[in-house]
Amino acid sequence: MSGWRHAGLALFCLALCCAARADTALHPLWELHGKHNSVYLLGSIHVLRPGDYPLPQVILDAYASANSLLMEIDLDSVDTAQIQSDLLAAATLPEGTTLRQILGERRYARAEALARSLGVELSALDAYAPWFVAEAISEQQLAALGFQAESGVEMYFLARARADGKSVAGLETVHDQIALFQSMSLDAQAEYLVSSLGEAHELPQQAAQMVRAWQRGDAAWFDAEIKQEFGRDPALYRTMLTGRNRKWLPKIEALLNENRNYLIIVGTGHLVGRDGVVDLLRKDGIQAVQR
């Protein structure tokens, strides 16, 4: 299962799920030190079950120390109704074009059979781009397993930040994230959809593996999972992960010149491995210590 499949809005995430009841030796949390402040990087899980709380104390302490939060997008300023409208507009195929046409008969027949085995009639989604269909079905599967964006790490800390009067900002916009999928060729989207459906029945087992890896702060596990997935498509790897990491880097490094402490919350896949944010910081001479 890819660690990046569910990436954005209430959809886009780079890891599926985690539970975090007991404290362990390591966590998906890194600490940076500027001259006068600390910046924490938290590997995020965008969808969670309500029963997956409380989070480990070391993560709660990092939040308590922070004056401000920085997330992939500024959820505090998102107009949900407008974003849903924009998302559907971006996902709707041009008039006269259908999902079946994009996939072609062979791929469509396979996708249709796989979707039907999940209880989904693909024909009901024929007006939408393949990337959106893949995300919609994945979101439905996650919901059936009890995972919801409302219980995700970002929403949890957003609620706390509002109550505590802490500021929230974003590294990019929702429309930036939508554009990532729109930039994929239609053929790549078609392959993405079929691959996603082909792996769907493995979701419960794969989610459990991610739970354990997240609890252990096992960066190597996430790195290996991402390499396996993106090894088939280096261009997509650059688009979804490393390209965004490089865009975020100057913003993150600039925070180390301030007097305020920050908690930065991004998908776990962005922090690990070669050209992950932690690695890019190291290359610039900035050490990040995993907590």
- The predicted-structure confidence for 82-113, as pLDDT tens digits, reads as follows 888 999 999 999 999 999 999 999 999 999 99
What is the domain extent for residue 95?
A: 6-290
Cβ-contact 179, 172 below 8 angstroms = no
Q: What residues are paired with 43 via a beta bridge?
A: 266
What is the residue whose two structure tokens read 């709660």? 60
How do residues 214-270 score in pLDDT, each as one tens digit? 778 999 999 998 888 777 778 888 889 999 999 999 999 999 999 999 999 999 999
Cβ-contact 166, 69 below 8 angstroms = yes
The first and second tokens of residue 125, run together, are 């989604």
Split at pLDDT 50, 70, 90, the class of 162 is: very high
HEC readout, the chain: CCCCCEECCCCEECCCCCCCCCCCCCCCEEEEECCCCEEEEEEECCCECHHHCCCCHHHHHHHHHCCEEEEEECHHHCCHHHHHHHHHHHHECCCCCCHHHHHHHHHHHHHHHHHHHCCCCHHHHCCECHHHHHHHHHHHHHHHCCCEHHHCHHHHHHHHHHHHCCEEEEEECHHHHHHHHHCCCHHHHHHHHHHHHHCHHHHHHHHHHHHHHHHHCCHHHHHHHHHHHHCCCHHHHHHHHHHHHHHHHHHHHHHCCCCCCEEEEEEHHHCCCCCCHHHHHHHCCCCCEEC
pTM of structure: 0.87
pLDDT at 9: 36
pLDDT at 219: 94
CA–CA dist 18, 214 (Å, integer):
6
Cβ-contact 138, 5 below 8 angstroms = yes
Tell whether 101 is covered by a domain. yes
pLDDT at 270: 96
How do residues 143-159 score in pLDDT, each as one tens digit? 898 888 888 899 999 99
How do residues 172-181 score in pLDDT, each as one tens digit? 999 999 999 8
- Could you tell me the CA-to-CA distances from 12 to 35, 181, 197 in Å, in that order? 34, 10, 17
Number of domains making up the chain: 1
What is the residue whose two structure tokens read 């290996």? 224
How do residues 194-204 score in pLDDT, each as one tens digit? 999 999 998 88
Residue 289 has pLDDT above 90, yes or no: yes
Return the minimum-mean-pLDDT range out of 21-25, 113-117, 231-235: 21-25
pLDDT at 243: 95
Tell whether 276 is covered by a domain. yes
Tell whether 1 is covered by a domain. no
